[in-house]
């Protein structure tokens, strides 16, 4: 966008009503492809450059805050901006509409996957998409690592995390806890080793905004202990009521109740974004609860990459497949159980994200940049790189040797993965074109070779 001074307006746009904001957030929910980077770029272009609802400095400040939190930062950023503009309901609407379109789309696609997934068209597409997903996860490890691992100490933390989860099968929560402790201690002993670059680059000016650099913090965004206690009580009540309802209706050991508890824990461990929590979801969903198979987990990630919304929406796929596989509502209601499982997984995954913004926004903003606060999170982010690399190794193993190392080797899948990696790394291609291209290659190969 042209930012020449002659094109910059010194007058902010007129106030935006909740109805207009609702329409924008709904549209964003359907076009938010490209992962966190793409989603943040869309919001920046729309809200900072074009609409001028918020200045770039305030936008980046909000983003820095969301990057410190567990959970999907793009969805939390949307929640934050909606909350700043229209109080609590604004945050609920903006954050909710960021997720709901993706939920409905994934429910439909997962039903198709389970009902007719073995037809040649579907299986051929997934044959090509799976190695593309392997390349995408590996590229994610590179991308996050290039930003997070700025010194030998952080590289060591990352390597230790990889060895812990790969060689010793250490549970993801323990790795997060250990990395946080290392970061906390390291931040006190050697604070210079636990500082990384962030999103705080010099802000550009696109004209006066509704929430401008000098705009006073709205009254509802100021920290007050009474409001803090009220918000916390409300969210705890919602969470207890929702999980309690599942326990009363189906029992604590039921699939749906265990999903509510499991995805609550997952939501509190998503430091580093969706790729960081995927190993934990895999450990729980595939190995512990056996809601789905390793192959289905890869397929679910492929679906998540090709739909709008946060990538962590793969939990909706896991919830649907798990409730279907376990016949949570009986063998005659598999589709209904799947829909309910997807809703349960999504609700308990995203509820904490709203809590972090509505509860912690005013408090955490005041501590942003304090090394004693950020150092543990930097340690966790370093560990996350090693965990993501382990996920890439896991995917490669199951895609290139689907029958184990003693079985056949899928040379075509390796070629597709290499081509996807080159497209992502060398040519900076978007994830959607890469996935669609690899899917088409897999379909053509299956149809011609089979």
* DSSP 8-state symbol, 14: P
Residues 6+ apart with CB under 8 A from 312: 71, 72, 270, 273, 274, 277, 304, 349
Residue 385 pLDDT exceeds 50: yes
Q: Which residue shows structure tokens 């609407």?
A: 93
Of 265-274, 290-299, 334-343, highest mean pLDDT: 334-343
Share of the chain above pLDDT 90, in %: 47
- 211 DSSP β-pair partners: 54
Tell me the CA end-to-end span of the chain in Å, nearest whole number. Answer: 50
Q: Which helix (H) or strand (E) holds 276?
A: helix 274-282
Higher pLDDT, 397 or 245: 245
Among the ranges given (119-123, 158-162, 323-327, 384-388), the one the predictor scored with the smallest mean pLDDT: 119-123
HSE, CB side, 13 Å, CA atoms: give it for residue 81.
34
Residue 8 pLDDT exceeds 70: no
Helix, strand or coil for residue 133? helix
Q: Cα(350)–Cα(260) distance, rounded to whole angstroms?
A: 11
The whole-number pLDDT of residue 1 equals: 44
Q: Which residue shows structure tokens 């060591």?
A: 156
The radius of gyration computed from the CA coordinates of the chain, to the nearest angstrom, equals 22
Per-residue tokens: 411? 């040379």
130 within 8 A of 392, measured Cβ to Cβ = no
- 121 DSSP β-pair partners: none
Q: Cα(82)–Cα(11) distance, rounded to whole angstroms?
A: 21
Of 36-50, 188-202, 216-230, 333-347, highest mean pLDDT: 333-347
Q: Which residue shows structure tokens 């965004």?
A: 221
What DSSP string runs through 371-394?
A: HHHHHHHHHHHHHHHHHHHHHHHH
Per-residue tokens: 64? 């820095």
What burial letters (b/e) apply to 100-119, b meaning 16+ CB within 10 Å? Answer: bbbbebbbebbbebbeeeee
Per-residue tokens: 406? 């003693």
Summarize pLDDT for 413-424 with one digit per residue, the tens: 999 999 999 999
Question: What's the average model confidence in pLDDT over 333-359?
Answer: 96
The whole-number pLDDT of residue 2 equals: 42
Residue 445, number of CB atoms within 10 A of its CB: 17
107 within 8 A of 74, measured Cβ to Cβ = no
Q: Which of 303, 335, 332 is nearest to 317 (CA)?
A: 303
Listed in order, strand segments (DSSP E) in 263-306 are none
Residue 261, number of CB atoms within 10 A of its CB: 14
HSE, CB side, 13 Å, CA atoms: give it for residue 18.
9
Residue 265, number of CB atoms within 10 A of its CB: 14
Q: Which of 445, 265, 246 is nearest to 344 (CA)?
A: 246
Summarize pLDDT for 151-208 with one digit per residue, the tens: 999 999 999 999 998 999 887 778 888 998 999 999 899 988 886 544 444 455 678 8
Question: What's the average model confidence in pLDDT over 338-343?
Answer: 98
The whole-number pLDDT of residue 429 equals: 87
CA angle 124, 130, 131 (to 5 degrees): 110
């Amino acid at each position: 966008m042209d930012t020449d001074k002659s094109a910059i307006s010194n007058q902010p746009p007129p106030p935006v009503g909740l109805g207009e904001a609702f329409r924008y957030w709904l549209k964003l929910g359907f076009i938010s492809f490209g992962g966190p980077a793409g989603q943040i770029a869309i919001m920046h272009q729309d809200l900072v450059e074009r609409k001028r609802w918020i200045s770039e400095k305030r936008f980046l400040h909000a983003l820095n805050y969301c990057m410190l939190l567990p959970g999907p930062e793009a969805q939390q950023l949307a929640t934050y901006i909606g909350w700043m503009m229209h109080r609590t309901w604004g945050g609920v609407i903006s954050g909710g509409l960021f997720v709901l379109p993706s939920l409905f789309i994934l429910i439909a696609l997962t039903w198709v996957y389970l009902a007719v997934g073995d037809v040649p068209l579907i299986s051929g597409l997934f044959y090509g998409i799976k190695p593309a997903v392997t390349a995408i996860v590996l590229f994610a490890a590179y991308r996050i690592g290039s930003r997070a691992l700025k010194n030998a100490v952080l590289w060591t933390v990352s390597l230790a995390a990889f060895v812990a989860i790969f060689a010793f099968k250490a549970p993801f929560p323990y790795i997060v806890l250990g990395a946080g402790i290392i970061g906390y201690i390291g931040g006190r002993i050697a604070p210079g080793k636990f500082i990384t670059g962030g999103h705080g680059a010099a802000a550009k000016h696109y004209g006066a905004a509704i929430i401008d650099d000098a705009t006073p913090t709205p009254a509802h965004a100021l920290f007050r202990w009474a409001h803090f206690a009220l918000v916390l009580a409300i969210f705890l009540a919602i969470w207890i009521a929702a999980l309690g309802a599942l326990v009363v209706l189906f029992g604590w050991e039921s699939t749906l109740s265990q999903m509510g508890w499991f995805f609550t824990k997952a939501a509190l461990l998503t430091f580093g974004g969706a790729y960081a929590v995927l190993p934990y979801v895999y450990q729980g969903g595939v190995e512990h609860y056996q809601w789905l198979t390793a192959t289905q987990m890869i397929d679910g990630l492929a679906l998540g990459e090709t739909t709008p919304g946060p990538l962590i929406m793969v939990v909706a796929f896991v919830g649907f497949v798990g409730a279907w596989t376990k016949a949570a509502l009986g063998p005659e209601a598999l589709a209904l159980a799947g829909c309910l499982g997807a809703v349960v997984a999504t609700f308990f995954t995203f509820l904490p994200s709203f809590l972090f913004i509505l509860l912690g926004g005013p408090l955490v903003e005041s501590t942003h940049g304090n090394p004693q606060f950020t150092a543990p999170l930097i340690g966790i982010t370093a560990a996350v790189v090693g965990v993501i690399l382990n996920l890439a190794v896991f995917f490669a193993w199951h895609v290139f040797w689907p029958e184990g190392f003693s079985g056949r080797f899928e040379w075509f899948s390796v070629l597709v993965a290499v081509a996807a990696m080159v497209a992502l790394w060398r040519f900076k291609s978007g994830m959607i074109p890469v996935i669609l291209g690899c899917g088409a290659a897999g379909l053509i190969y299956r149809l011609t070779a089979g």
